[in-house]
Structure 1
């Protein structure tokens, strides 16, 4: 998995420049490699299976005594904990709801940390992507939500999410920015020239 190159990041910044000429909205984009390392998930699965599997052997076969059972549980835990740390396996152990919850939390932290809640007229917009979770979210401040219903972003998010799933992150950003720009120019047209927040793509590697 690779994040966008410098030239691709510049294309995103240029796209933001273009739409902000026609709207008072302040658009910021964030691309995260992943929202969490989920280190606790493999340990939880390893602990659960290490307790259940050796116990099942004892129950069905009576092969192990108590001391052998404890040793088998420790060995099973050690092996499974190492095995489940492999990224290809870890990604399958984390429930989708947990992945999206972590990504959503990161998006909200970024909205605050990037001062999108402190713009003139409360017109901040965050376009957030967490690549590993295939998660996309558009967050807007009150100056935008008071004029554009949040449902307007749902189809844009759905399209972008599908593009992330296919590895088309750059094109997804460009299409999303352009489509959002059309909505913003219509409902929140530019009244004066300003650029409160940087237009560069924020990358969380």
Structure 2
């Protein structure tokens, strides 16, 4: 995950400018990944180790003890290999990664105080890079006024830029589009309740 201090400042400034147009609070979170998927290497290594003895049994006359020792070695080597971050992510089913990223977004919604904003007018903009996942999570006070489909434009801008490696540009574009939507339904006013910054996790 590469985002410079200058990029973080740009995102913070975009949040400040957006919140001048609306009383809603915008919080941005960027995650390198939403889970360490620690069980994945062991699971795949177990599959490989379970399959390893059969060719030895079928095509060799090795003693059983040596076959078992080979099986253990295969498990250890496979687990170490599958623990490499890129391989671990590649071996994790997409459905599981999306579920973990969604759970992380919901956790950040509460952890960062978005749910505690006056009039329930907080919005979380969340990106998890390893899972290639992005989500905009509005609180109930916003969701009652702006339907989920209306956030699609902001989400598309966010995804288009982050796919090209322009993470800060993606956040800035999504913040600006979110401000446009929010200003139509939640006019400016009130105090700035949450820090204007990009959270990294």
Q: Indicate the RMSD between aligned Cα atoms, in angstroms.
A: 1.5
1: distance between equivalents of 2:69 and 2:85?
Answer: 27
Write out per-residue CA displacement over residues 27-69 of structure 1, whole angstroms, 9 at most, x where no aligned residue.
Answer: 111111111111210111001111112224424x254443222
Partner of 2:187: 189
Q: Secondary structure at the match of 2:195?
A: coil
Q: Secondary structure at the match of 1:28?
A: strand
Contact 2:105–2:135 (CA<8 Å) still a contact in 1? yes
1: distance between equivalents of 2:149 and 2:61?
Answer: 60
- Shift, 1:71, TM fit: 1.1
Partner of 1:180: 178
Contact 2:101–2:128 (CA<8 Å) still a contact in 1? yes
Contact 2:31–2:129 (CA<8 Å) still a contact in 1? yes
Partner of 1:30: 29
Contact 1:21–1:193 (CA<8 Å) still a contact in 2? no
Partner of 1:52: 51
Matches within 5 A, 1:1-205: 1-2=1-2, 4-59=3-58, 61-190=59-188, 192-204=189-201
Q: Secondary structure at the match of 2:116?
A: coil
> Where do 5+ consecutive residues of structure 2 fail to align?
none
Contact 2:30–2:198 (CA<8 Å) still a contact in 1? yes
* TM-score calculated relative to the size of structure 1: 0.92
Contact 1:138–1:153 (CA<8 Å) still a contact in 2? yes
